Amino acid sequence: MSRLRAGWSFLAAAALVAVAAYFAGAQPPFSLVLWFLAVLAVLVREPAPPRMQEEPTERMEAVEATLSQVESVLGALDLPVVVIDGDATVLAQNKAAEKAFGPLLSGLHISTRWRSPGILDMIRETIETGEPNQIEHSERLPSERVYIVRSAQVEKLAGALPQLFLLSFRDISELRRLDRMRSDFVANASHELRTPLASLRGFIETLQGPARGDPKAQERFLAIMLDQATRMSRLVDDLLSLSRLELKAHIAPDQTVDLIPVLGHVRDSLAPLAADLGVDIRLHLPEGKVEVLGDRDELVQVFENLMENGCKYGQEGKVVDVYLRHGDGAPVEVSVVDHGPGIPAEHVPRLTERFYRVSVADSRSKKGTGLGLAIVKHILTRHRARLIVRSEMGKGTDFTVRF
C-alpha cells in the first residue's frame, strides 16, 4: 500500500517536470521522452527498504516499561533522584525530586533545569567515563539549600534499552546549619569565659604589683574577683546543664509531677532575690493537684528561670504573677507574667537561642549568662511542651508554658 502511494507521487512529480519542460519551450517529443524516462525510473528504481515501524515502537514500549519500573522503585526513596540517558536528556524523576525541584519535563536536556557548569561538567564526565562523581551545589529558590549532587551510571539493564544515569541530590542544609551553630556556640562560650578570665588576670597582676601594700584596694579587688569567678562558674553550670539536656533530648520523661508544690518551691527559693529587687511573686493556683508527665528537677529549673527573669527584667513592675490553668480537655498552662518594660517584637523569636540577649550589658549587670531561656526551651522540648512568649512594650511580658 505504501509502496504504491510512493510510486504515484513519483509519477505525479515526473508529469509536473514534463509539463514544466513543455512550457519552458521544449518540443513535445522531448517532454514526452522526459515523461517516459520518469515512468521508467519509477518502475526500475530500487525497492524501498522495508519500513522499520514495528521495531522502534516495540523498543519504545520496552523502554517505557523499564522506565516505569525504575520510577516505581525510585518512588519509594526519600532522596530526590533524576534519571537521564547518555545525552543527558531527562527520562524520569522520583516524587522526592518533584517535591524538591518541581516537575521536570522528560525528553528535555538536563540543562533546561540545572545550568550550573559544575553539575553539567560532572554529568558529562560520568557519561564519558562511566565513573561516579559528586559536587556540592546550592539552590537559592524556593529557599536556600545545599545539596551533594551525585551522578552515577546504572548497570546495564536487560534488553536493548538506553544506558541510564542517575542524579541524586542529598540535602545537607541542616547539617551545615548545625555545624555553624556548633562553631558559633564554641566561639560564644569561649568569649563569655574569656571576659571574666581577663578581668581576673588583670586584678591578680594589680594585687601582685601596684596594690601589694594597699589593704583597702585588695579588699575591693578581691570582691570583684569573687564576682567574676562566680560568673564563670554560673556559665560553666549552664553549659553543663545544656549538654546534659542535649544527651537526653529524645527521652520523654515518665514521672508524674504535681505542678502546685513545684511552683510553691520555686517561689520560696527565689524569695531572697525577689526581696532584694523589691518584687512580689504572686501565685494564682487552683485547688487540688495539677499533674503532668515530667522530670521534677527540670521543671523546677524552667520555672526558676522564668520567675527569676520576671523579677530581674520586670523589676519596675514590682509584681510577677504566676497563673496555673487547667480544665476539661484544655492543656495545662503555667504563665509567668511581669509588668516590666516588655521586649521589642523583633527580639521575641530569638530569645531561646543560646547567648541571645536583648541587651548584653543589661543581662551581665543582672548576672545573666544568656543561656537561661535556651535551657528552658530544651527542657520543654523533652517534655513535649511549648513556650509561648507575648510581650507588649511598656506593659510587660507573659511567658506561658503549655503542656
Nearest CB to ligand ADP, comparing residues 123 and 320 = 320
Q: Among 100, 90, 88, which residue's Cα sits nearest to residue 70?
A: 90
Q: Among 117, 79, 132, 82, which residue's Cα sits nearest to residue 103?
A: 82
Q: Please identify, among the stretches 22-30, 124-132, 248-256, 337-345, the one whose residues bind ligand ADP according to the rule CB under 6 A.
A: 337-345
Residues 6 or more apart in contact with residue 57 via CB below 8 angstroms: none
How many CB atoms lie under 10 A from the CB of residue 331?
13
Contacts with ligand ADP in 2-21 (CB under 6 A)? none
- DSSP three-state, residue 170: strand
- The count of residues in the chain is 403
- DSSP three-state, residue 361: helix
β partners of residue 19: none
Helices and strands, number each (H, E), in the chain: 11, 12
Gap between the terminal Cα atoms of the chain: 81
Q: How far is the CB of 296 from ligand ADP (least distance, A)?
A: 21
Nearest CB to ligand ADP, comparing residues 70 and 373 = 373
Nearest CB to ligand ADP, comparing residues 70 and 371 = 371
The dihedrals phi and psi of 39, each to the nearest 5 degrees, come to -65, -40
β 396-402/333-338 pair status:
antiparallel
Nearest CB to ligand ADP, comparing residues 335 and 363 = 363
Distance in angstroms (rounded) separating the CA atoms of residues 151 and 128: 12
Residues 345-384: x where in contact with ligand ADP by CB under 6 A, - otherwise, as a string: ------x-----xxx---x----xxxxxxx----------
Joined together, the cell numbers standing for residue 3 give 509502496
Residues 299-328: x where in contact with ligand ADP by CB under 6 A, - otherwise, as a string: ------x---xx--xx--------------
Contacts with ligand ADP in 267-306 (CB under 6 A)? 305
Among 38, 84, 232, 343, binds ligand ADP (CB under 6 A): 343
Q: How far is the CB of 312 from ligand ADP (least distance, A)?
A: 7
Nearest CB to ligand ADP, comparing residues 350 and 384 = 350
Nearest CB to ligand ADP, comparing residues 14 and 306 = 306
Among 232, 338, 377, 378, binds ligand ADP (CB under 6 A): 338
> Are residues 67 and 157 in contact, defined by beta-carbon separation less than 8 angstroms?
no
Q: Interface with ligand ADP includes 397 (CB under 6 A)?
A: yes
Nearest CB to ligand ADP, comparing residues 290 and 351 = 351
CA dist 172 → 136, 144, 146, 177, 179 (Å):
9, 11, 6, 9, 11
CA dist 363 → 127, 246, 313, 366, 372 (Å):
60, 24, 9, 5, 11
Q: How far is the CB of 343 from ligand ADP (least distance, A)?
A: 5
Nearest CB to ligand ADP, comparing residues 70 and 375 = 375
- The region, left, alpha or beta by phi > 0 then psi within -120 to 50, assigned to residue 225 is alpha
> Are residues 372 and 239 in contact, defined by beta-carbon separation less than 8 angstroms?
no
Give how many residues touch ligand ADP by CB under 6 A.
Answer: 21
Q: How far is the CB of 392 from ligand ADP (least distance, A)?
A: 11
Q: How far is the CB of 368 from ligand ADP (least distance, A)?
A: 3
Q: How far is the CB of 364 from ligand ADP (least distance, A)?
A: 8
Q: How far is the CB of 308 from ligand ADP (least distance, A)?
A: 8
Residues 6 or more apart in contact with residue 142 via CB below 8 angstroms: none
Q: Interface with ligand ADP includes 151 (CB under 6 A)?
A: no
> Are residues 89 and 64 in contact, defined by beta-carbon separation less than 8 angstroms?
no
Nearest CB to ligand ADP, comparing residues 326 and 339 = 339
Nearest CB to ligand ADP, comparing residues 91 and 189 = 189
Q: How far is the CB of 357 from ligand ADP (least distance, A)?
A: 3
The single-letter code of the amino acid at 69 is: Q
Q: How far is the CB of 316 from ligand ADP (least distance, A)?
A: 10
Among 279, 340, 379, 385, binds ligand ADP (CB under 6 A): 340
- Residues lying near ligand ADP in the complex (CB under 6 A): 305, 309-310, 313-314, 338, 340, 343, 351, 357-359, 363, 368-374, 397
